[in-house]
Amino acid sequence: MNRPILIISLLLVALRMGTTAQVTAPALPGTKVPVESISSNVPSEAQSPQPEQPLVVDLTSALQRARHYYQDFLSAGIASALAREDRIQAKAALLPSLSAFSQFLYTEGNGTPSGVFVANDGVHVYSEQAVVHTEVFSFVRRAEYQRAQWAEAAAKARQDIAARGLISTVVQNYYGVIIARRREENARRTLDEARAFLDITEKQERGGEVARADVVKAKLQFQQRDRDLLDAVTNTRKAHLALGVLLFADITQPFTVSDDARPDQALPPMTEIRLRAQDSNPDTRMAEAGVRQAEKEISAAHAAFLPTLSVDYFFGINANVLAVRGPDDRQNLGSVAQGTLNFPVFSWGATRSKLRQAQLQKKQAELELAFAQRTLSSNLNLSYLEAQAAKEQLDSLRNSMELSGESLRLTTLRYRAGEATALEVVDAQSTLAQARDAYDAGVVRYRVALASLQTLAGGF
């Protein structure tokens, strides 16, 4: 090969290798990488999945959601629907009924028109009839219908009682989340205060102003507050789980509750609450419905001693041929009416025993009504006393929290000046933490007491 050609070939190969190295070489620090060199497989910030925002739930929406998942409430709703169907069936028994039947009788022939069995009017007998049946007067049926009406009213009252239990459970868990969250916030503030005090002791130790024991005490206090915060976070999560089970089909649904526990909520007068409770309390309504139902049981038991009259009307064909007219042009289509008067005569004392049984049931229902009224009055008084006590303590709890905060501030200043010990600062921090928790617990206690009064008075 000629030397010029060889040199040219080597130059071309070197030039090609240099171009490849330029494309694949990594970018130097401080240089801009072209947009074309960035791989399209790297997800951008806009393409990254955004975290799901937690659902904000207030008390009203929490109660509405719980109605779809609370077992006792759902069971009471089914029982109420069953009682409604019983009432519909009892009412239908008072009204005329229409039915139809189709029948074919084949009798063994013996050479005569009637066949072997002479009771039949032919070898072939066709029956195509419609029957209307009604009971002209039946005291038993009427009493059973009225009893079913009051049974439905009692079932609806039981459903309201289950709804009240739902409200009580949701309220307790709802404000359990609020108090747990407030205690978590207080634990964070207390931890910050312990961290600040630890920083003060370390700085003063480096300056030779305090002993090592103060730093040790501050560290112990900081570690304890850190553990308290961990416990508070755990309690908040547990409270969220307990409430989430009542509100959502998926317990992993992220949500947060709105804090409506305020100390300035007014306490209604007792007379207003009592009047509202007497009109809408489900316990007394259920007991009253039980008394009315027992009265109708007595009426039904009395009616068993009386006669009943029923009427039946038949229209159709009962002939040897399935036709409107027979072979001899005889009219086959016709009707017949019959009335039945039934007299009860003797039942071995069963009817009288049912009457005594119904009377005893009424007596029991009256006792339950009186007890329900006394229980309602007692619960109203207890709940109102609880709300009053919680309301009256709020000012004292707020004042204690403010004084504890001022005490911590002054004690810290005295410690900086060398006039207080580390133990006094730690004690002031503990007192403030307890005062904060006590105030928040008092506010939530008052709100729960108001919710109990609203539940008894039918406010939700």
Q: What is the DSSP string of 190-248?
A: HHHHHHHHHHHHHHHHHTTSS-HHHHHHHHHHHHHHHHHHHHHHHHHHHHHHHHHHHH-
Domain 55-94+143-306+352-456, what fold? Answer: Outer membrane efflux proteins (OEP) (1.20.1600)
Per DSSP, 58 falls in state -
User: Letter for the amino acid at 48?
Assistant: S
CB 186 within 8 A of CB 437: yes
Cα–Cα nearest to 435, from 411, 387, 403 = 403
Domain 97-137+308-343, what fold? Answer: Outer membrane efflux proteins (OEP) (2.20.200)
Indicate the helix (H) or strand (E) that contains 259: none
Instruction: Give 188: exposed, middle or buried? Use CB within 10 Å, 0-12, 13-18, 19+.
Output: middle
Cα–Cα nearest to 358, from 285, 300, 289 = 300
pLDDT at 108: 76
Residue in this structure with the two tokens 């506010």, named with its chain if needed: 443
Q: How far is CA 220 from the centre of its chain?
A: 45
b (16+ CB within 10 A) / e for 53-66: eeeebebeebbebb
Question: For 318-371, how does the pLDDT look when each residue is reduced to its tens digit (9 = 90+)?
Answer: 887 788 887 777 788 888 888 888 888 888 888 899 899 999 999 999 999 999
Residue 8 tokens, joined: 């040219």
Average pLDDT of the residues in 103-113: 77
Q: For residue 402, give Cα distances in angstroms to 261, 406, 421, 439.
A: 19, 6, 22, 10
CB 377 within 8 A of CB 281: no
- pTM (predicted TM-score): 0.70
pLDDT at 266: 86
- Indicate the pLDDT class of residue 22, thresholds 50, 70 and 90: very low
Give the separation between CA 140 and CA 126, rounded to whole angstroms. Answer: 36
What's the chain's length in residues? 460
Starting at the earlier edge strand, list the strands of the sheet with 97-106: 97-106, 124-137, 308-319, 333-342
User: Letter for the amino acid at 306?
Assistant: L
Question: For 231-284, how does the pLDDT look when each residue is reduced to its tens digit (9 = 90+)?
Answer: 999 999 999 999 999 999 888 888 999 988 888 888 888 888 888 887 778 888
Give the separation between CA 322 and CA 174, rounded to whole angstroms. Answer: 74
Per DSSP, 108 falls in state -
Give the separation between CA 30 and CA 181, rounded to whole angstroms. Answer: 48
Question: For 393-412, how does the pLDDT look when each residue is reduced to its tens digit (9 = 90+)?
Answer: 999 999 999 999 999 999 99
CB 431 within 8 A of CB 407: yes
Instruction: Give 300: exposed, middle or buried? Use CB within 10 Å, 0-12, 13-18, 19+.
Output: buried
Cβ neighbours of residue 439 closer than 8 Å, sequence gap 6 or more: 394, 397, 398, 400, 401
- Indicate the pLDDT class of residue 142, thresholds 50, 70 and 90: confident
Residue 306's CB: how many other CB atoms inside 10 A?
13
Q: Enumerate the domain spans of the chain.
A: 55-94+143-306+352-456, 97-137+308-343
pLDDT at 317: 85
First to last CA, the chain: 103
Residue 141 tokens, joined: 């049926």
CB 422 within 8 A of CB 218: yes
pLDDT at 455: 84
